[in-house]
Structure 1
């Protein structure tokens, strides 16, 4: 029987809210953060295109179990639409496919905005990660194929004009999971009869995180202690990670959307063994499809509450 290899890295857990720079891909950003923290495991909650900057929540260790809850959170983007050109990628990366001499007035744009508020149908860009017959749309697009991508429902909470100029307009949008801001720019340009594409895109919030949680790559690198001669890792020893670990947000922060159940240390031990426990307390819910249990303020598990019993589904290390 083959022996399981020892995991490489530290069993560190928490959220790092990276202010991703333009030019860095989301996968590249995760790899960078994982290496800096020497973490066993890392993942991100929502891809951000290389040409976009801003919030990329990165989960380390056990926090990766909470990624779906952050992915489902509302997002805020600030973006600039350049009028007069439509591009194959709906941003600056692709070649121009359509042009117009028409430019919209601010009044024209304001009159259009209500059409984009609420639950709307949106067709993702040709260059997107949507799967068509098992293949990514952007792979097919790069091979020169034009594919039919079905429209889908997305939800826009608000769409505001921040600044309007002759050739471009800056907007801020609050939207739900699966919304493509590039598609917003494309569709508004078509509806206004002038075409348009994203000229600048920055994600400023992913619920429950805000811009106050931002950490830059430069700040992370500045927290690195000097590397001693012969060391493979950037540092060794728990104490030498203190400056980096201070940037982490507790794993439980991602679960503020769920009912919270405080339990005893004894109950926590039972849950970590996969056993259900009785939920106690005057305000404790009797039924909940999902809830999180905490002991002494520390996350213990995510589970369901049925007839007053908490039944664990995902357990977290103590």
Structure 2
């Protein structure tokens, strides 16, 4: 039961920052977001990096001003723990789809470990047929659900690391991986099977990291919904600039910050500014700060910084 008072709700609408939600399996990312939004009475929310309904784990939720920074965490690395089911291929490359192929062949630990290196680094990966990628203006999964065969081309993706955690039983093996933007773990499970001489699909998936957010900061959805004290949320609310951990920070004076807030550019051509600009290149986006507080996302161009997004935090 939600016991927030009217004044509590009014306060909640002004929340800005990041919540690292532990999404349960069985919900879409949007369904999970909407449940949090209803609980907190937050007018503006977004999420960073969609999780499939069958997946659980880390779903970063942006509240208020943090929605302006969502795009910057999409570029970060993501980590997963996942289980592959050997011997069965499915239309969706996960446990939801119809069986398309079966085999009694099972890979050994030695064969699995020997296959891993070929998947590391920059590789070409064909996305799952049931994916949100557009083909001729339509989502591939919509075409597939109507009985069509969307032609998806291989595309470059990055797999930072892949480790075999355990052979759970004859049919299952569990792995951990860290990957870049646009990588499909379902496709990795499928391709591992093909390389090892047996059909395979993803049977379990849990995300443990997205960019600067990790599993230690997560709050389960049911725990959040059970909160009666709005102040308890502050323990889990991370600053807006958490999503900007990989973006250079640039300290400003109060006068410079005020110019940015009003939409004006700030010239940094004076010799005194050379140290501040030492590691910046033309076109870089920076997190402009005054006294440690984020003021704006700004772009450094031709010796000046120009506001991209003003942050009211």
Residue 183 of structure 1 aligns with which residue? 187
Distance 2:228 2:153 in 1: 47
Match of 2:219 in 1: 215
Q: 1:77 maps to what in 2?
A: 80
Separation (CA, whole Å) in 2 of partners of 1:147 and 1:278: 51
1:169 to 163, 168, 173: 173
Corresponding residue of 2:4 = none
Note the C-alpha offset of 1:281: 5.0
Provide structure 2 residue ranges, at least 5 long, that are not aligned to the other structure.
Answer: 1-9
Deviation at 1:282, TM superposition (A): 5.9
Q: What does residue range 188-267 of structure 1 map to in structure 2 within 5 Å? A: 188-225=192-229, 241-267=230-256
Residue 314 of structure 1 corresponds to 309
Give how far 1:195 is off.
0.8
Count of residue pairs brought into register by the alignment: 297
TM-score, structure 1 as length reference: 0.89
Work out which of the residue numbers 266, 274, 297 in structure 1 matches 2:292.
297
For 1:96, the equivalent position in structure 2 comes to 99
TM-score under structure 2 normalisation?
A: 0.91
Q: Which runs of 5+ in 1 are unaligned?
A: 1-6, 226-240
CA distance in 2, matches of 1:190, 1:213: 36
Q: 1: distance between equivalents of 2:59 and 2:102?
A: 33
- Correspondences of 1:135-146 after superposition (within 5 Å): 135-146=138-149
Check if 1:131 corresponds to 2:134: yes
**Alignment partners' CA distance in 1, 2:184 and 2:74:** 14
Distance 1:282 1:220 in 2: 47
Return 278-287 or 248-257, whichever deviates more: 278-287
Do 1:46 and 1:71's aligned partners in 2 also have CA atoms closer than 8 Å?
A: yes
What is the CA deviation profile of residues 128-162 of structure 1, one whole-angstrom value per residue up to 9, with x for unaligned ones? 11111111111111111111111100000111000
Query: 1:269 maps to which residue?
Result: 258
C-alpha distance in 2 between matches for 1:67 and 1:29: 17
